[in-house]
Structure 1
Amino acid sequence: MDINNIRELVKLFKEEGLTRLKVEDGDVKIHIEESAGETAVMPKEQSTESDGAGGSSSDSGLTEIKAPQVGTFYLQKEEGSDENFVNPGDRVEAGDQIGIIEAMKVFNDVTTEHAGVIEEVRVENGDSVEYDQVLMTLREEGE
């Protein structure tokens, strides 16, 4: 991997509004992470939950948190860790990270747009997920 490849990775990181990027190429490992003081701007098509037409809310008062892209979903905070981002019964705020989706060695944080309590986690750590697949259900506050 040469400096031009690294520049392209940094460009991709900025253009896509990513918060974390890990790349391995042979013996070279690159990890780029946004500092805590900055805010990531996610394009609308990468929203973690459907709004309107997708029917994210049902009559049962639950909101579905859906995969913003195809990839491998990680529920655990770190590889080999027993600590998950969230578990059923956990209270979350809008913007809280609930997992990571890896696609083509690019890691994207998955966040929730609503505050509430995680009712059900429908995927396991390391599962392959499809675009718009339900990852979790959330009972919004006030429901």
Structure 2
Amino acid sequence: MSTQDIQQLIDFISQSGLDEVNIETTDLKISVKRYGSGVPVVAAAAPAPAAPAPVAALQPQPVAAPAQTAAAAPTVAAPKADSSNYVTIKSPMIGTFYRSSNPETPSFVEVGDTVSEGKVVCIIEAMKLFNEIESEVSGRIVKVLVENATPVEYDQPLFLVEPI
């Protein structure tokens, strides 16, 4: 079984909603467990005739979480009833969203703050690199759509901005 076959199996299992699957053949043993909506943990072992098989942990590619992330993320403030004129600042990459440069400093922006083009609004950590995300629009922050220190996807909405 190739790594691609294993990845396809993981994708299938993640879409099925199962939390645990064990597959065992004469050549391979795979155990897939997932807790909550996190990334599945996969362990595979090849049998050895005389000795117990060593367990090798495979690093699967992260499985995209269902589109429930934005709905499940707590919000900081409620938007006005008419949100048609708001501009969304979206994540340019996959990573971990941070509202400030470290836990001891205040957030880059709060609800009600006025931002201009080029002002840093958050940081997204991707592969141990901290990337400053700048506003592409001038306006007032109306809503923060993502909880601090949570994973974000590419093009996921982060902030709602009322243009000036």
Q: Specify which of 77, 84, 88 is matched with residue 60 of structure 1.
A: 84
Distance in 1 between residues matched to 2:85 and 2:153, nearest whole Å: 24
Per-residue deviation, 1:76: 1.8
Q: Identify the structure with bigger relative contact order (alpha carbons < 8 Å, sequence gap 6+).
A: 1
1:132 alignment partner, SS class: coil
Aligned in 2, Cα 1:86/1:59: closer, same or farther, shift over 3 Å? closer
CA distance in 1, matches of 2:87, 2:122: 17
- Count residues in correspondence: 83
The equivalent residue for 1:104 is 127
Post-superposition offset of 1:77: 2.9
Deviations 1:70-112 (A, max 9, x none): 000100232x225100011000010000000001101111011
Q: 2:137 aligns with which of 104, 114, 126?
A: 114
Largest Rg, 1 or 2: 2
CA distance in 2, matches of 1:126, 1:59: 26
> What is the TM-score when the length of structure 1 is the normalising length?
0.55
Gaps of 5+ in 2: 1-81
Identity of matched residues, %? 42
Flag as ranges the 4+ runs of structure 1 deviating above 6 A.
Answer: none
Q: Residue 119 of structure 1: SS of its match in structure 2?
A: strand
2:118 is aligned with 1:74: no
Q: Does 1:138 align with 2:164?
A: no
Tell me how large the CA RMSD over aligned residues is: 1.5
Structure 1 portions without partners, runs of 5+: 1-57
TM-score normalised by structure 2 residue count: 0.48
